[in-house]
Structure 1
């Protein structure tokens, strides 16, 4: 009975169901799993409380991002087949279990359980939870797919805005802060956060619905929508999608766009300090750097909604021309101006991070344009392996270059400008890859039976 409650057939929306109830359901999942971006709040307490290094304290987050891509790729087809309630329920169970296992590990003094719990088990929840709301929203908003995916993925980017203060307050309440934090207090924080997210995420899988067969928005005529050779009316399966050059070109586009953004995001605080150490009083610099990180987090979140919504009018390919081409010029500006103008530095950084977030939000609609709605969740899941790769590649480039420059005695912006030049090259490669994307060859299209099933998301 429980399994039946989770299946797609049980959540077909009745007549009159408002599609605007679906974005809150999606947000309840994405705002929760977006907590991953707030992992840095745990880093200092864990390092001081357990006596571990910065590399060790980053392991749960790194493994979580890797598992996000792997689980999205592995379980993507099953997510499409079983429906969003099943997927969101499984995501909730895995993500919450990650917190509970971590709490147990810290209570017992076994840090490896934190890595396994938060990183491996929780990371599976990240991947499954990430793709399911997105593919469902695309089906509910065929008239505005960019807006729909932007709403959901904005939640993932904004999750840290909720999780950061919540984590800080709980750590302080349980004695998990200071120079000698109580490890049991950190464990209690994980426990309480797990319970909070269990309730919060339940709203999503209880509320979610899929449209009935033949449903379309009132007054919407597909033939009157935006026409483009890049927007297909056919459908491609996940199995065939990975055989197309379009999939792998888009994989490169997403990977290098994410690499360029996550590199600066991961090391934002020290980058700001090194750029303006000589022009800002020490007592102001630390607070300004914290503010800089918050501004970038906000740009990351808002860019997902703003730019992906614009893509409904300008087209997905044109938007990636902006993300990649303008992004390369912004990095070039940072490299040439260094610390000479704080306003220029701030504007460039904000735009780079807004393009970083927008890349995530726009890519599901790009996939829908190229491959149709049939198994788009599974295709999206496979594409997210590009994120896993970039999650390692971006920080590795920036940190390796910075460490080498520091070892060589380089001070200030010079510690990062070589890495920025690498980012420019990657963005140019991504720009070229985007230019090479063409409509998918008809030989990869599904037969009529599959196309009919795609109207309701039912697999042929």
Structure 2
């Protein structure tokens, strides 16, 4: 049977149909990844819906349920409004399902390719939002949990890891930068989605409707267009492709900085390798400390500095309602500033890791991060708002940088053949950290308040605990060594895995020779980057307006 007839029989989502032809410009792939990550990154911004949803029936004021209505009854009641604490379970499900779905279906993604995984992600994420819209319309919270929480969470997991393996293979010379660009989009999704959702809810709100259901429908449609565009734009390089003039680094040796391996570890074998669990702890500790800060940044700023944020010499508990509202506005600007550093850090630190190595980058995260956490009580006690804010901005940049650097770290240690599946398994560390970090911070705060400590001092011990987490991560990172060659796939096993993954030496329509990324029309690259860059610029602009309130 001829090659043409074989191609004719394959589906348009088939992995072999996505192998890039000669002359394909590799810089077209990062915008495709960004298109998906900017959409699913709205998971970070779903809290913008909590307040309107908490009065979906009452509209102007929440119609409070009676004491007989517990959590399980709230799943089905339609005569009273949901509590914000109940709505927060959607946020929890997002990240539990992100980690678990990435771990479960990471191997499938490697075999079918990023295009099919991206399409499934779009269907799950956008379909989940439509189901949530139905849940809002009929006031059935179980539909929202099933829609955005479960189905949308699966879409999150598949969309998050879908570009990782592809970008690493397109940019073997800049692994950190490539994954940093994509994962930067996940951090920036809420920066676009939150103000968009606020504008849409304002437009759709009526005297009898808070406008959330219609907002879900419109955002699902917008996101579907962008995510499908990104998925269909994915291309994978031929298995023998390399950038022009690039030479693979020398084989890893114990004690070297980069530790870039030439072998490939199978995803099912990674659970038994010590380096995997060391990197798992590295990510878990970095995320636990960072996510704890994200959750408490706004109240911490208000309680520590109190009236000084608005030029009033008074503690937080001594402020009146108008003053509390004023400092809440300042704190919102502080949160927006942290989001900018979170996003920028994903690209900056991941790109820096290409120069100094992944291990050295995480050493910086843990040593500098621990020092900054320990400095916070002193800057707060001294009343130095500038040092306080600067410390948290750098901390949040390293929180985002940890997410963006870890895929390249995994590729260096375990090879590129199944890095997407291995990355999916590693994201269980994120799910763990999403529980560990906030629990430690919230319980410590409540315990210290119960002991009678002033509000401006209740975070001091918490900072020490978070610094301790980073020191645990530092020890784990320092213990990482090149993977023992016995764990790598042999030539026969690797060849069999590549056949299962439909890897080919060349695209079906191409002949022999090395692909070059120089010959694609530059206009397509510019248009692709404009498609994702303009929404991102709008999000930065809107966030900048909030930041301006803080500095003002």
TM-score w.r.t. structure 1 length?
0.94
Aligned partner (choices 101, 104, 107) of residue 71 of structure 1? 101
Aligned partner (choices 455, 470, 473) of residue 412 of structure 1? 455
Compared CA separation, residues 448 and 9, structure 1 to 2 (3 A): same
Aligned-partner SS, 2:205: coil
Aligned partner (choices 216, 224, 235) of residue 264 of structure 2? 235
Q: Is the 8 A contact 1:26 1:152 kept in 2?
A: yes
Once structures 1 and 2 are overlaid, which stretch shifts more, 331-340 or 32-41? 331-340
Q: Is the 8 A contact 2:373 2:463 kept in 1?
A: yes
Bigger Rg, which one: 2
State the distance in 2 between where 1:140 and 1:170 align.
38
Q: What number of residue pairs does the alignment pair up?
A: 456
Aligned partner (choices 129, 133, 144) of residue 103 of structure 1? 133
Q: Does the alignment pair 1:118 with 2:160? A: no
Compared CA separation, residues 229 and 305, structure 1 to 2 (3 A): closer
State the distance in 1 between where 2:473 and 2:421 align.
23
Number of the residue aligned with 1:28: 35
Q: Does the alignment pair 1:54 with 2:84? A: yes
Shift of 1:155: 0.4
Q: Is the 8 A contact 2:16 2:502 kept in 1?
A: no
Shift of 1:403: 2.6
Once structures 1 and 2 are overlaid, which stretch shifts more, 261-270 or 73-82? 261-270
Compared CA separation, residues 416 and 220, structure 1 to 2 (3 A): same
Shift of 1:304: 0.3
Map 1:255-294 → 2, pairs under 5 A: 255-281=284-310, 282=323, 284-294=326-336
Aligned-partner SS, 1:360: helix
Number of the residue aligned with 1:214: 240
Shift of 1:55: 1.9
Q: Does the alignment pair 1:10 with 2:17? A: yes
Shift of 1:24: 0.4
Aligned partner (choices 347, 355, 359) of residue 313 of structure 1? 355
Shift of 1:2: 10
Number of the residue aligned with 1:384: 427
Shift of 1:418: 2.2
State the distance in 1 between where 2:422 and 2:133 align.
34
Shift of 1:293: 0.6
Q: Is the 8 A contact 1:235 1:450 kept in 2?
A: no
Aligned-partner SS, 1:368: helix
State the distance in 1 between where 2:168 and 2:118 align.
16
State the distance in 2 between where 1:433 and 1:224 align.
25
Aligned partner (choices 236, 249, 252) of residue 278 of structure 2? 249
State the distance in 1 between where 2:496 and 2:167 align.
17
Compared CA separation, residues 104 and 3, structure 1 to 2 (3 A): farther
State the distance in 2 between where 1:174 and 1:410 align.
45
State the distance in 2 between where 1:45 and 1:92 align.
26
Q: Deviations over 1:31-90 (max 9, x none)?
A: 011001111111211223363333212110111100000000000000001000011011
Number of the residue aligned with 2:202: 172
TM-score w.r.t. structure 2 length?
0.79
What stretches of structure 1 of length at least 5 have no aligned partner?
none
Q: Is the 8 A contact 2:304 2:380 kept in 1?
A: yes
Compared CA separation, residues 257 and 364, structure 1 to 2 (3 A): same
Number of the residue aligned with 1:196: 222
Q: Deviations over 1:4-50 (max 9, x none)?
A: 21121110000000000000000001001100111111121122336
Q: Is the 8 A contact 2:258 2:359 kept in 1?
A: no
State the distance in 2 between where 1:209 and 1:441 align.
32
Q: Does the alignment pair 1:296 with 2:366? A: no
- Structure number having the greater helix percentage: 1
Q: Is the 8 A contact 2:258 2:358 kept in 1?
A: no
Q: Is the 8 A contact 1:450 1:459 kept in 2?
A: no
Number of the residue aligned with 1:157: 187
What stretches of structure 2 of length at least 5 have no aligned partner?
1-7, 58-80, 311-322, 505-552
Aligned partner (choices 26, 30, 33) of residue 19 of structure 1? 26
Once structures 1 and 2 are overlaid, which stretch shifts more, 8-17 or 284-293? 284-293
Shift of 1:413: 2.9
Number of the residue aligned with 1:397: 440
Aligned partner (choices 421, 425, 429) of residue 464 of structure 2? 421
Q: Is the 8 A contact 2:275 2:481 kept in 1?
A: yes
Q: Deviations over 1:284-310 (max 9, x none)?
A: 422210111101111111000000000
State the distance in 2 between where 1:193 and 1:346 align.
33
Shift of 1:455: 8.4
Aligned-partner SS, 1:49: coil
Once structures 1 and 2 are overlaid, which stretch shifts more, 278-287 or 233-242? 278-287
Aligned-partner SS, 1:48: coil
Number of the residue aligned with 1:365: 408
